[in-house]
Amino acid sequence: MNRREEVIRLVEDSGLSCAEEILNTLRPSLRIYAEQGEIAAMPVGASRMGGMPDLPDEIAWPSWLPPKARDNRRKALDFIAQINLEEVCNFDLGHNLPEEGMLYFFYDIENFTWGYDPNDRGSSRVIFFKGPMEKLKRRLAPGVSQDTHACMLSFEQDWTVKDTFDIEVDEIDSFECLVDELQGDSETIHRLFGQPQTIQDDMEVECQLVTNGIYCGTAEGYDSEEAKDFIAGADDWRLLLQVDTDEDNPGWMWGDCGRLYFWIKESDLDNLNFDNTWLISQCF
């Protein structure tokens, strides 16, 4: 739903007792639509998912050392998406992104890390390049012989609200209908910024704890004394990019129809520091 006024009206008309609380979570977003095509026909530097990235020589292909890697061999991360900021700068995103430059997103698809373990650090990367577009060239990952499932991207302004609330039992159906109407007919939801479409629980606390070295694969991490020292910082985390299962276009299936969520601290975003982003995956 791309009009702020429509979202406000639908929430207010829902009759939910928590309508005001829901509206307090209203955030602008950019809905992303991917359409598969021939990569040879796609301009170098255009926003894209899948296929090969357009990287300058000065950026080394990101890799990491998985905890159980054989022979201590680093593994090249898989290219997920590139966003040309010039294509999105005229949208209201609620953030002061540069009007030009490229954001690149990478992830280890094979190992499919979940993000609840501090040892997952390095399995995803976000890279910001602000330089001449003439430096960009199409590049294959080391050891990859062909490119597949390249998709051009189009964008639409969107407004989102949080979809996880403690709802009164007699209001659950009304809330679920509201969420469905706000998300629209499409089952595939890629987006830049805004509120995530969660499959399991909220992720901000998980991001905060795991990036401070606390294992969050069990309840003990959340309940630990150490967690109390960090939990207040969870409010600083923001969704950067949501990448949905999309078998028809890039060809991705994240677990059982899941999603990838790239997160960033707002303080890092303000400083254009993408080195500390964190990825969480969720599925049904």
Note the pLDDT of residue 165.
87
CA distance 66 to 182: 39
192-235 pLDDT, tens digit each: 999 999 999 999 999 999 999 999 999 999 999 999 999 999 99
CATH of the domain at 229: 2.30.320.10
Note the pLDDT of residue 183.
80
Note the pLDDT of residue 42.
95
Residue 117 domain boundaries: 4-282
Q: Which two tokens stand for residue 187?
A: 């089952």
58-92 pLDDT, tens digit each: 999 999 999 987 778 899 999 999 999 999 999 98
Residue found by looking up tokens 């994240």 in the block: 254
pLDDT surpassing 80 at residue 32: yes
Global pTM reads 0.95
pLDDT surpassing 80 at residue 184: no
Alpha-helix residue ranges (DSSP H) falling in the chain: 4-13, 19-23, 85-88, 172-183, 204-210, 219-223, 225-228, 266-270
CA distance 260 to 242: 6
Q: Is 115 exposed, middle or buried (0-12, 13-18, 19+ CB in 10 A)?
A: buried
| Number of folded domains that form the chain | 1
CA distance 94 to 30: 10
84-143 pLDDT, tens digit each: 999 999 998 887 789 999 999 999 999 999 999 999 999 999 999 999 999 999 998 887
